[in-house]
């Protein structure tokens, strides 16, 4: 069961309660026209007196959620006003006490750790809002830049230089937090799971102008420069770099709204990256000031939560995480260089597959680049991206995508109808298409959960697309061609191949649905959803899906080639059209290859795990309360409602996985051949350049992933050989049991594998 | 999580179904046992929410000599709203065994009793969440037949993720399969 932050957002502050307050409840004086107050105290008390302790009187609307949110008065872990004997309600830290340069540095460095904790998903109340200087700066809420100071109402005397530095740092920090919070709130994320946007009614300098804050930071840097003699150049630099970090962060945020010209947008990110190392190296100059941070401040926040501990990552972790954040900040900008829709998809897939995953701020930044104001990457209409994708996947040089169709006004012209029907299709499919990108911007657990829903949606997109395909066939006067689907090998009565139409739009939808289904299974491996004895079956299902995809793309290819030949024959193929066909066929080739290596590697792992189960090296737990079939029902629940490809029955799934008719040696041999095929395929993939692989601006990440698959292939091969060797050395009358006794197996966790999606068992001979 | 200084069981434990009349005697001990492994305590209302409505799905393992509490399991059983037609879904909310007595099958016995009780009341399925790092709990449930259906990102206040574990007791109605959601919002509030 999960625990919950009880009623988060309550206006007003808890009072300092003591037992005497409870003894003497003064009845409130209610006087208002139309309100007749009746004192029910006695009635209530006598009704309550009839209850035994522990009796629960509740209506049907009192849910577990309310129960978890309820507080117990006078329990120090729940009642925020409950004090230990002698404990004071407030912090008694004096923010006007002089600070040494090294203390300022110490405070700033602790603030950095807390800022990171907030970015990792912990609430402000347990991170930045535990700092007394920040609290003093934010309360009461400042309206002008002058008021934004932890020492208010200063007479005209100049600020102490160290106060000026700390103040400028805090100004920059809070304004950054404001923008980060706004960005995240604006995009799709999961509150509390990914991030807590609650500011507890504190304004993060919302109304103070960014330029004024920048000016204060610049002034403080100049001030530091003039202090080099007094506080040492080293110290002045150390503080100066921290201010530079704040200024650059603000600038980076400001520029990211532009969504164009990624090179110039990356300048402040590079600056942060550079200065971050220097900051790390000067950490030792700081003196911690732990008393400047207090959980007691939480009592003043608009929350009923009692003070909870400060969440403070180590500086080492802070260093690594921010370093990654800055690198990701530079990287994510590259998405703005749009080349084609498939490269865009690969960018998002590989960017989000990184371990650790980019922080939520970067993930929401990517979302804003992709979707803000319905303009993709700041300059493309959704239609442009969708049409680009259709042209790559199913409709190169097609009349269906000719923009000139839109201006045809003669309603009997087929182009008029085409324009209309294509628009209907875009209206139907564009959202589902963009949702794939959005889904992959979520945390990994949510990606998988979201895709489980999306496949339902794509199921209907495919059906609707097929309807539009049929209408378009008429407009295009398309003639069906002989085509035999490999899966449904039912020959027609005449023995000739059945006739088929291209069905480009539904083919496109089906291809995405298949990919989504594969991703769901693959993320299952990555998220350790399957137990070891499930792996054979899940790799079998993955190979089934990938094989279906390969066959489907082969079908698309047949029609694409046919269409190209037609255009050649009747000399309507232009040079631009030729180039589109070439690009599309390249895409189809890579996709078939990708599907083929997936199916072969999955196939080999399926066989290998089946063998390990026969040898009792992977053993299923007893499971007295379950049956294989019931577990199949749960495991395959996301796919159960999908019509195409239909979920295999439990019986055919079990037989395909266990392969009872094949001898163990044959399974191993088959696995060996499959993995050899996968190896060849991955080697070809690994040699592709970014144009051919459709990996513009993410090629290095994609290539690293592909090479990790290749390493997985090699590891599978080693495991197979190890088992074969032992099987080969068996004596007469010895079998699986004896072989199993001579081997040991470990099923590693995904983070110990070369690739998260390929859980390769480590098999070794016993000494 | 692991046992420090493992004790032998004090003979054959008594397994007792909770009832309301036992509140004064056992609720404080139940709270203390459960709270030990929580960073934030549940309020008394959470315990009463379960125990008052589903006391018959709560079992206690007691010391045969002094009847002190050694282990406890707390559950509920309700129609699950987001399903059409709704399923009757059991939920294991809390389970704990006093640390010196772990590793003797006490939790396993408690979980079995709870499953049996829910199955007798026609539960279609039983679900629960457990921390991704809680290997002993996951092993225990998986050994009985539970399956991880999904991972829940940063599900707990301490920032840890969880797994949703599901035990299906009877086949899913194929006509109801349109609800693929495997969703949970109503069960475990965050
Ligand atoms: C999880 C928890 C309830 C398990 O309690 P437990 O009584 O130790 O569990 P069991 O004894 O039934 O099972 C634990 C081990 O003992 C073994 N065991 C089972 N019966 C046994 C027996 N009769 N004799 C000896 N060992 C036995 C089990 O095989 C199991 O072995 P494993 O470690 O290889 O999986 C306990 O660790 C706990 O209270 N943890 C803190 C609270 C918590 O995490 N609750 C779960 C939240 S969902």
Q: What is the ipTM of this complex?
A: 0.91
The verdict on residue A131 lying in a domain is yes
Mean pLDDT score, A713-734 = 96
Q: What are A205-226's pLDDT values in tens digits?
A: 999 999 999 999 999 999 999 9
Q: Which helix (H) or strand (E) holds A574?
A: none
Query: Can you give the pLDDT at residue A403?
Result: 94
User: Is A305's pLDDT higher than 80?
Assistant: no
The reply to whether A605 and A506 lie within a common domain is no
Which atom of ligand 1 lies closest to the CA of B96? 39
Work out how many domains chain B is built from and give that number: 1
> Domain count of chain A?
3
DSSP A410-453: -TTSHHHHHHHHHHHHHHHHHHHHHHHHHHHTS-HHHHHHHHHH
d(CA A27, CA A419): 72
Say if ligand 1 is within 6 A of residue B96 CB.
yes
Take atom 31 of ligand 1 and give the residue whose Cα is closest.
B103
- Return the pLDDT at A602: 98
State how far residue A30 is from chain B, nearest Cα, in angstroms: 30
* Exposed/middle/buried for residue A467 (C-beta within 10 Å: 0-12, 13-18, 19+): middle
In this prediction, residues A732-741 reach a mean pLDDT of: 95
Instruction: Give the model's pLDDT for residue A9.
Output: 34
Residues, chain A: 767
Q: Specify if A460 maps to a domain.
A: yes
- Asked if A231 and A101 count as a contact pair (C-beta separation under 8 A), the reply is yes
For testing contact with chain B, the best of A625, A647, A750 (most B CBs within 10 A) = A625
CA distance B159 to A122: 8
Distance from CA of B108 to the nearest CA of A (A): 12
Summarize pLDDT for A245-290 with one digit per residue, the tens. Answer: 999 999 999 999 998 888 999 999 999 999 999 999 999 999 999 9
What are the chain B neighbours of A190 within 8 Å (beta carbons)? 153
The minimum CA-CA distance between B4 and chain A, rounded to whole Å, is 25
In a domain, B189, yes or no: no
Q: What pLDDT, in 10s, does the model give residues A66-125?
A: 888 887 888 877 877 788 888 787 778 999 999 999 999 999 999 999 999 999 999 999
pLDDT digits (tens, 9 = 90+) for A662-709: 999 999 999 999 999 999 999 999 999 999 999 999 999 999 999 999
The number of C-beta contacts closer than 8 angstroms across A and B is: 173
Q: Check whether A507 has a pLDDT greater than 70.
A: yes
Asked if residue B130 has its Cβ within 6 Å of ligand 1, the reply is yes
The answer, for A225 touching chain B at a CB cutoff of 8 Å, is no
Ligand 1, residue B143: give the atom nearest the CA: 35
CA-closest residue to ligand 1 atom 15: B103
| Cα of A146 vs its chain's centroid, Å | 40
Are A525 and A574 within one domain? Answer: no
Residue B10's CATH number: 3.40.630.30
User: Does A574 share its domain with A439?
Assistant: no
Residue B102 Cβ inside 6 Å of ligand 1? The answer reads yes
**Domain extent for B134:** 2-184
> Mutate which of B149, B158, B179, B186 to disrupt the A interface (most A C-beta within 10 Å)?
B149
For a pocket test of ligand 1, which of B137, B161, B162, B164 has the largest count of ligand atoms closer than 8 A to its C-beta? B137
Output the CA B138–ligand 1 centroid distance in Å: 10
Chain A residues near residue B145 by CB distance under 8 angstroms? 623-626, 631
Q: How far is CA A361 from CA A438, A440, A492, B50, in A?
A: 14, 14, 57, 39
- Domain membership flag for residue A539: no
Tell me: do A459 and A590 sit in the same domain: no
From the list A5, A308, A445, the residue facing B152 with the nearest CB is A445
User: Percentage of chain A surpassing pLDDT 70?
Assistant: 95
Judgement on whether residues A517 and A568 belong to the same structural domain of the protein: no
Q: Is a pLDDT exceeding 80 seen at residue B169?
A: yes
Alpha-carbon torsion, ordered A198, A201, A204, A205, to 10 deg = 160
Distance from CA of B93 to the nearest CA of A (A): 5
Select from A322, A344, A366 the last residue of a domain.
Answer: A344
Q: How confident is the model at residue B3 (pLDDT cuts 50, 70, 90)?
A: very low
Instruction: State residue A72's pLDDT score.
Output: 81
Q: Would residue B61 count as lying in a domain?
A: yes
Q: What does the DSSP 8-state code read for residue A262?
A: H
Residue B134 lies in a domain: yes
Task: Determine, yes or no, domain membership for A588.
Answer: yes
* B190 inside domain: no
Given a contact cutoff of 8 angstroms between Cβ atoms, the answer to whether B150 and B166 are in contact is no
Same domain, A638 and A743: yes
Cβ of B142 closer than 6 Å to ligand 1, yes or no, is no
Q: Are A525 and A757 in contact (CB under 8 A)?
A: yes
Length of chain B: 190
> CA A651, A652, A658: angle at the middle one, nearest 5?
90
- Of all residues in chain B, the percent with pLDDT exceeding 90 is 73
Residue A357 lies in a domain: no
Within this chain, do residues A514 and A577 fall inside the same structural domain, yes or no? no
DSSP A620-658: ----TT--HHHHHHHHTHHHHT-TTTTPPPHHHHHHHHH
Q: What is the DSSP letter of A11?
A: S
Of A384, A382, A378, the C-alpha closest to A403 is: A384
> Quick check: is A62 in a domain?
no
pLDDT, tens digit (0-9, with 9 covering 90-100), for A489-501: 444 455 567 899 9
Output the pTM of the full model: 0.93
- Assess whether the C-beta atom of B114 lies below 6 angstroms from ligand 1: no
> Ligand 1 centre from A759 Cα, in Å?
27
For B126, the closest chain A residue by CA position comes to A625
Cis-peptide into B85, omega within 30 deg: yes
Closest ligand 1 atom to residue B102 Cα is 8
Q: Give A322: exposed, middle or buried? Use CB within 10 Å, 0-12, 13-18, 19+.
A: buried
Domain that holds residue A392: 381-489+497-529
Whether residue A267 is found in the same domain as residue A340: yes
The reported pLDDT for the residue numbered B177 is 46
Is residue A638 situated within a structural domain?
Answer: yes
Whole-number pLDDT of residue A440: 98
Q: Per residue in A419-474, pLDDT tens?
A: 999 999 999 999 999 999 999 999 999 999 999 999 999 999 999 999 999 999 99
pLDDT at B176 (0 to 100): 53
- State the pLDDT at residue A459: 98
Residue where a domain stops, chosen among A344, A367, A398: A344
Query: What does pLDDT average to over chain A?
Result: 92
B171 C-alpha vs ligand 1 centroid, how far in Å?
29
pLDDT confidence of residue A495: 59
Q: Do A638 and B182 touch (CB under 8 A)?
A: yes
Ligand 1 contact, B103 CB (< 6 A): yes
Q: Does A192 touch chain B (CB under 8 A)?
A: yes
| Mutation pick for ligand 1 pocket among B11, B36, B62, B103 (CB with most ligand atoms within 8 Å) | B103
The string of DSSP codes covering chain B is: ---SS-----SSPEEEE--GGGHHHHHHHHHHHHHTT-SSPPPHHHHHHHHHHHGGG-EEEE-TTT--EEEEEEEEEEEETTSSSPEEEEEEEEEEE-GGGTTSSHHHHHHHHHHHHHHHTT-SEEEEEEETT-HHHHHHHHHHT-EEEEEETT-STTS--EEEEEEE-SPPPGGGTT------TTTS--
Is the Cβ atom of B164 under 6 angstroms away from ligand 1?
Answer: no
| CA pseudo-torsion sign A179, A122, A93, A218 | negative
**Residues A632 and A755 placed together within one structural domain of the fold:** yes
**Within this chain, do residues A567 and A641 fall inside the same structural domain, yes or no?**
yes
Name the one residue in this structure whose structure tokens are 């690594």: A320
pLDDT above 80 (res A48):
yes
Q: What is the dihedral of CA A298, A303, A309, A311, to 10 degrees?
A: -100
User: A54 vs A707, B41, B63, B92, CA distance in Å?
Assistant: 62, 18, 24, 21
How many angstroms separate the CA atoms of A627 and A632, rounded? 9
Give the lowest-confidence range in A47-51, A112-116, A123-127, A415-419: A47-51
Which of ligand 1's atoms lies nearest the C-alpha of B2? 37
Domain identity same for A585 and A650: yes
Query: A640 and B172 in contact by Cβ < 8 A?
Result: yes
């Amino acid at each position: 069961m999960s625990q919950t932050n009880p009623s988060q957002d309550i206006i007003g502050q808890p009072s300092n309660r003591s037992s005497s307050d409870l003894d003497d409840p003064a009845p409130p004086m209610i006087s208002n026209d139309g309100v007749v107050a009746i004192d029910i105290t006695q009635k209530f008390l006598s009704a309550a007196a009839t209850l035994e302790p522990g009796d629960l009187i509740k209506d049907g609307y009192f849910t577990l959620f309310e129960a978890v949110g309820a507080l117990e008065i006078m329990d120090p872990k729940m009642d925020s006003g409950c004090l230990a004997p002698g404990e004071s309600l407030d912090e008694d830290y004096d923010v006007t006490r002089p600070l040494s340069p090294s203390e300022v540095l110490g405070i700033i460095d602790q603030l950095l750790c807390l800022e990171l904790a907030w970015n990792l998903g912990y609430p402000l109340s347990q991170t930045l809002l535990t700092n007394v200087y920040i609290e003093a700066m934010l309360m009461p809420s400042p309206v002008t830049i002058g008021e934004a100071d932890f020492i208010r109402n200063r007479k005209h005397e100049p600020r102490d230089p160290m106060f000026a530095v700390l103040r400028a740092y805090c100004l920059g920090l809070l304004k950054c937090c404001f923008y980060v919070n706004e960005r995240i709130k604006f995009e799709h994320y999961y509150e509390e799971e990914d991030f807590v946007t609650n500011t507890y009614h504190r304004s993060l300098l919302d109304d103070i102008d960014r330029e004024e804050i920048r000016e204060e930071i610049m002034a403080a840097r100049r001030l530091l420069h003039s202090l080099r003699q007094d506080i040492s150049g080293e110290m002045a630099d150390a503080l100066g770099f921290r201010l530079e970090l704040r200024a650059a962060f603000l600038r980076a945020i400001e520029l990211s709204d532009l969504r164009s010209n990624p090179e110039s947008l990356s300048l402040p990110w590079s600056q942060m990256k550079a200065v971050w190392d220097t900051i790390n190296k000067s950490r030792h100059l700081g003196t911690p000031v732990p008393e400047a941070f207090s959980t007691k401040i939480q009592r003043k926040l608009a929350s009923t939560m009692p003070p909870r501990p400060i969440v403070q990552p180590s500086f080492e972790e802070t260093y690594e995480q921010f370093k990654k954040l800055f690198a990701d900040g530079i990287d994510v900008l590259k998405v703005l260089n749009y080349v084609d829709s498939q490269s865009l998809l690969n960018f998002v897939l590989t960017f989000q597959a990184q371990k650790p995953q980019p922080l939520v701020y970067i993930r929401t930044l990517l979302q804003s680049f992709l979707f803000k104001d319905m303009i993709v990457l700041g300059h493309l209409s959704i239609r442009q991206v969708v049409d680009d994708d259709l042209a790559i996947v199913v409709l190169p040089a097609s009349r269906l995508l000719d923009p000139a169709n839109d201006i045809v006004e003669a309603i009997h012209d087929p182009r008029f109808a085409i324009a209309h029907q294509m628009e209907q299709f875009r209206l139907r499919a564009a959202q589902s298409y963009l949702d794939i990108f959005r889904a992959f911007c979520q945390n990994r657990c949510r990606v998988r959960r979201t895709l489980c829903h999306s496949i339902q949606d794509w199921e209907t997109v495919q059906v609707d697309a097929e309807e539009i395909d049929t209408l378009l066939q008429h407009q295009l006067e398309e003639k069906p061609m002989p085509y035999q689907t490999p899966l449904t090998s039912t020959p027609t009565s005449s023995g000739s191949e059945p006739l088929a139409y291209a069905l480009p739009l539904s083919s496109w939808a089906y291809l995405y649905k298949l990919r989504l289904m594969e991703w769901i299974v693959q993320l299952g491996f990555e998220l350790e959803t399957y137990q070891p004895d499930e792996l054979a079956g899940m790799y079998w299902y993955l190979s089934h899906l990938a094989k279906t995809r390969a066959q489907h793309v082969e079908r698309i290819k047949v029609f694409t080639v046919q269409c190209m030949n037609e255009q050649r024959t009747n000399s309507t193929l232009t040079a631009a059209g030729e180039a589109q066909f070439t690009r599309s066929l390249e895409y189809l080739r890579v996709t078939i290859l990708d599907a083929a290596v997936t199916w072969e590697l999955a196939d080999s792992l399926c066989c290998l795990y089946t063998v390990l189960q026969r040898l009792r090296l992977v053993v299923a737990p007893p499971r007295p309360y379950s049956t294989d079939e019931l577990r199949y029902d749960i495991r395959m629940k996301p796919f159960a409602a999908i019509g195409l490809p239909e979920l295999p029955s439990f019986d055919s799934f079990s037989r395909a996985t266990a392969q009872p008719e094949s001898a163990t040696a044959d399974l191993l041999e088959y696995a060996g051949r499959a993995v050899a095929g996968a190896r060849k395929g991955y080697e070809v993939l690994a040699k592709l350049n970014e144009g051919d692989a459709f990996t513009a601006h993410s090629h290095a990440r994609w290539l690293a992933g592909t090479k990790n698959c290749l390493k997985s292939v090699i590891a599978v091969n080693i495991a197979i050989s190890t088992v074969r060797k032992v099987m080969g050395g068996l004596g007469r009358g010895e079998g699986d049991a004896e072989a199993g006794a001579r081997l040991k197996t470990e099923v590693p966790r995904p983070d110990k594998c070369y690739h998260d999606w390929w859980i390769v068992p480590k098999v070794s001979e016993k000494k | 999580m692991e046992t420090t200084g493992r004790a032998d069981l004090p003979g054959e434990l008594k397994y007792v179904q909770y009832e309301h009349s036992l509140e004064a005697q056992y609720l404080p001990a139940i709270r203390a046992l459960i709270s030990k492994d929580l960073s934030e305590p549940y309020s008394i209302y959470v315990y009463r929410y379960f125990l008052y409505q589903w006391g018959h799905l709560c079992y206690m393992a007691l010391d045969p000599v002094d009847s002190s509490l050694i282990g406890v399991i707390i559950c509920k059983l309700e129609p699950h709203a987001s399903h059409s037609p709704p399923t009757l879904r059991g939920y294991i909310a809390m389970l704990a065994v006093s640390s010196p007595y772990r590793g003797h099958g006490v939790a396993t016995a408690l979980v079995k009793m709870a499953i049996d009780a829910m199955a007798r009341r026609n539960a279609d399925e039983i679900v629960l969440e457990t921390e991704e790092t809680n290997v002993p709990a996951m092993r225990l449930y998986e050994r009985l037949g539970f399956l991880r259906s999904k991972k829940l990102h940063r599900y707990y206040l301490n920032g840890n993720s969880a797994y949703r574990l599901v035990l299906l007791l009877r086949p899913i109605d194929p006509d109801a399969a349109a609800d693929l959601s495997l969703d949970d919002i109503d069960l475990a509030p965050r």
